[in-house]
């Protein structure tokens, strides 16, 4: 057992390098996905066909093709067309497009879930469409979309593991290297699982904090200090017998 720890200890710098790549992919991929999701989600929720139909086509296309195929397409097919992208950019783009398309549905659904009375009140006050979205509807939809977005974020983080295929040395790639000296079981069964799990936990806590803050702004839920306490944040009593 000792020599396994020693092997991991020795490999620590490269594991940390891998972790940094995984974190970078997650953060930049999530930012790209979020920007795309807001643009596509707003367009898909629009009453204007000129926005809605193109948005639907893009959303369905990127939801309907696998992430691996999208990564390969960007990495191997684009160069044939004379476009050579850095592997990191390819990874971020693929994650952004794929999860952006999924998240766009969440954004659209949340916007449409804001009660009709809120939309009508903005009409009665003569707010224009941009003010209405920016100042009234989106802030309320934001609180509704966070739970779904946070599970998509964890999916995205786990999805970063496929970029090893395109020469990026992320955490999974480095684990594969360490496996030779530390053994498969220990490398993947303990170190790999734990690292991803802890990262996912951090992301979940971050998103829970966002959700609390968003709900607090709508006058729901308690003050912000609860987010920092270790107790699991109280979920909304949506369904099920309690």
Partner 1 sequence: MIDFRDVEKAFGDNVVLHDLNFSVQKGDRVTLIGPSGSGKTTILRLVMTLEELTGGYIFVGGEPLTHEERGGKRVPVSKRNQKRIRQRIGMVFQQFNLFPNMTVVENIIEAPVHVLGQSKREATLKAKELLERVGLSDKAGAHPTSLSGGQQQRVAIARALAMDPEILLLDEVTSALDPEIVGDVLGILRNIAETTDITMLIVTHEMQFARDVSNRVLMFDGGKIVEEASPSVMFSDPKHQRTKDFLHAVLGDGEDTIGTR
Which of these ranges, 25-33, 44-52, 135-143, 187-195, lies near partner 1 under the rule CB under 8 A? Answer: 135-143
Query: Taking CA 104 as the corner, what is the angle to CA 101 and CA 106, rounded to the nearest 5 degrees?
Result: 125
Rule CB under 8 A: say whether 64 interacts with partner 1.
Answer: no
Element (H, E) at 90: helix 87-113
CB of 139 to partner 1, least distance (A): 4
Residue with smaller CB distance to partner 1, 131 or 184: 131
- Picking from 203, 207, 193, 197, the residue whose alpha carbon sits closest to that of residue 235 is 207
Distance CA 106, CA 149 (A): 7
Residue with smaller CB distance to partner 1, 145 or 171: 145
Rule CB under 8 A: say whether 127 interacts with partner 1.
Answer: yes
| Token pair 């991929």: residue | 29
Residue with smaller CB distance to partner 1, 123 or 229: 123
Rule CB under 8 A: say whether 48 interacts with partner 1.
Answer: no
* Binding-site member from 217, 222, 224, 236 for partner 1 (CB under 8 A): 217
Rule CB under 8 A: say whether 236 interacts with partner 1.
Answer: no
Distance CA 25, CA 89 (A): 9
Residue 46: strand, helix, or coil: coil
* Binding-site member from 218, 222, 234, 236 for partner 1 (CB under 8 A): 218
Query: Taking CA 93 as the corner, what is the angle to CA 90 and CA 99, rounded to the nearest 5 degrees?
Result: 135
What is the binding site for partner 1 (CB under 8 A)? Answer: 117-118, 120-121, 123-128, 131, 135-136, 139-140, 217-220
């Amino acid at each position: 057992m000792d020599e396994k720890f020693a092997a991991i200890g020795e490999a620590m710098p490269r594991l940390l390098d891998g972790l940094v790549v995984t974190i970078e992919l997650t953060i930049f991929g999530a930012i790209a996905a979020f920007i795309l999701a807001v643009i596509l989600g707003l367009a898909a929720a629009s009453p204007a066909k000129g926005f809605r139909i193109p948005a639907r086509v893009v959303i369905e296309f990127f939801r309907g093709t696998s992430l691996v195929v999208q990564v390969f397409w960007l990495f191997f097919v684009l160069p044939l067309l004379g476009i050579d992208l850095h592997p990191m950019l390819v990874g971020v783009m693929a994650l952004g497009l794929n999860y952006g398309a999924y998240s766009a549905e969440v954004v659209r659904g949340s916007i449409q879930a804001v009660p009709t009375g809120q939309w009508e009140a903005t009409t009665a006050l003569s707010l224009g469409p941009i003010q209405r979205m920016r100042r009234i509807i989106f802030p309320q939809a934001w609180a509704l979309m966070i739970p779904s977005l946070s599970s998509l974020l964890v999916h995205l983080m786990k999805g970063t593991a496929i970029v090893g295929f395109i020469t990026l040395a992320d955490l999974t790639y480095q684990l594969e290297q360490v496996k030779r000296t530390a053994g498969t079981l220990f490398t993947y069964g303990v170190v790999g699982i734990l690292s991803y799990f802890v990262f996912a936990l951090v992301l979940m806590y971050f998103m829970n904090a966002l959700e609390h803050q968003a709900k607090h702004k709508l006058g729901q839920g308690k003050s912000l200090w609860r987010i920092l306490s270790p107790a699991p944040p109280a979920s909304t009593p949506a369904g099920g017998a309690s």
